Structure 1
């Protein structure tokens, strides 16, 4: 596969002879990696499987990864603690899962009305994003090394059983909702719960929840939401892009030599490319299929989008006042975005011209 060859070549930045010497000298490491998303889910779980398939090659045979599907070794919500304490030496999830312990973690996962994938990566790699990301875990007392290791573009913002035309239509709904967007929905009268992807269909079918958001069309299709709910809303104002993380226990990380660490980091960067490309390649066909299955694809009206945005700014005020580190990250990201806006406003075609 052409893409695979390019990615491997990117990761293997050292000479073949250097890799051979390292393979002889370096201790071999097995990364036992529980994951938060099934490896069968495209662009959500497939990137870490792709990573596991390639880290052995890029490390010259000195690192292998064994993946454990969600709940098989560690429950998704326990991955951070498991990696930090050394129960496992690595894990794959998204930082928004930890916002109950680390409020700022959600800012490293998905930001309502926030950066799209390109801007997000720019802040992480060339702004202060990665520095702050690691600082958050260090300050929290977690013994982990964090690496962004996948990213996807916008999600859908909800599957509903009936049209949502005005704010009153949200009142009293019970809805599965993730991350910072859940705080917005709660302020609008929605009761929110966080459910793993595999539990959402059953909850909708039984009426335990009235609506749900989860991920992109191709992923939602695999989970069968269209069989129960027929109104799918866009744009994904709550998750314009979502970052996924590889967590490595610091004791394991510190045992790696420089070439092993470089292989781990560079393969994660290659996986970022793989994930965004895979996700972008399949959404339109999934949306076409959804229409054939009777799904009505809707775009939020101006009143509702405006309401989501103004409510989000209220949430920001509350969270920046409540948590100093959330405020620190938010201010840094906001400053970066102000600069990026000059480029964005001038460099990209307006949507209405992209016909």
Structure 2
């Protein structure tokens, strides 16, 4: 049923349009917001999620609530998106919240902690395991409220100029990596570099960095990393899933009618589903093209993964000793992950592995 028809029908039920129309107008004000993204327009799946979100909001409100989207750098640099929301320079930002763990480490779990849950389990924790409440508690000092809006799925491990055969090969490696994964790798000798998406290729091309991770095959292909680093590693253990959010200025959020808050939440869910579905559609063919163009797929050796896992646990426990909020968030995340993995291994993992064994033979 179209929204206009629904509203007219509601007016009839209320006996008179003279009563219903002003009430509707009162709760549906004209609103214009600006959205700054942490991503360039060239990444039309991630940035396209912001555009899709804005479209859904406009459609659901008969264009009364309009959000204008801006790519990274058009208003502020990509790594300053949350700062722009905090200062009310913009009303809303599309950004990975783990960009800001230097100010609040608990925000690592808002996007994805190393060796954390996959995208499906993350979203379940966010909605039913207390994740939303904990992460919004962490955002309080930023004067922001988070709306879940998308996920990349499990990411690739990045592009390297040289092979990674042992843990020693990580020492001194200048690696573009965001979030807490960089802090963990620093314990193993890596020199982490946090660089916004649009600036990664030039840094890799010039040799300012030795390796770079971003998302997965589709975006990595667009950014051209395979042209300057041929070894493509997996998995991106620092992001079993990477949740993306719309961070809304808290005052602006609280000032919205409840109906508009509901629209933003539902638009976030719908645009987020569009994002992960798009990635599932385009990543397989992109990976095949990358290999055809010379990319060499490599799995991180098990000893390297084991060293990274141990370093991760040490690092997370160190932070938990210093930060009560981080400790509370970590305990919530880990307990939820244990439960969902228990079931997943029984049902989906066994089923998926069986199907893989069949498709490899066909």
TM > 0.5 fold call: yes
Distance 2:25 2:51 in 1: 26
| SS of aligned partner of 2:341 | helix
Distance 2:148 2:138 in 1: 14
What does 1:226-265 correspond to in 2, within 5 Å?
226-265=226-265
Please point out which of 48, 51, 54 is paired with 2:50.
Answer: 48
Distance 2:44 2:181 in 1: 23
Distance 1:115 1:84 in 2: 28
Larger Rg: 2
What does 1:1-355 correspond to in 2, within 5 Å?
15-17=6-8, 21=21, 24-25=25-26, 26-138=28-140, 140=141, 142-350=142-350, 352-355=353-356
Distance 2:177 2:29 in 1: 43
User: Bigger CA drift: 218-227 or 314-323?
Assistant: 314-323
| SS of aligned partner of 2:63 | coil
Shift, 1:31, TM fit: 1.5
CA contact (8 A) 1:23 1:60 kept: no
Shift, 1:322, TM fit: 2.2
Distance 1:202 1:289 in 2: 22
TM-score by length of 2: 0.90
Distance 2:214 2:348 in 1: 29
Distance 1:256 1:347 in 2: 42
Distance 2:24 2:93 in 1: 24
Distance 1:333 1:184 in 2: 18
Give aligned pairs, total. 343
Shift, 1:23, TM fit: 5.7
| SS of aligned partner of 2:277 | helix
Root mean square deviation of aligned Cα: 1.9
Deviation digits for residues 290-340 of structure 1 (CA, Å, limit 9, x no counterpart): 111111011122111212111111111111112211111001111112222
Deviation digits for residues 193-248 of structure 1 (CA, Å, limit 9, x no counterpart): 10111111111111111111111110011111010100000111111110111111
Deviation digits for residues 5-25 of structure 1 (CA, Å, limit 9, x no counterpart): xxx99xx7x944469957622
Deviation digits for residues 14-52 of structure 1 (CA, Å, limit 9, x no counterpart): 944469957622221111011101233143221111111
CA pair 64-186 structure 1, distance change in 2 beyond 3 A: same
Distance 2:191 2:185 in 1: 8
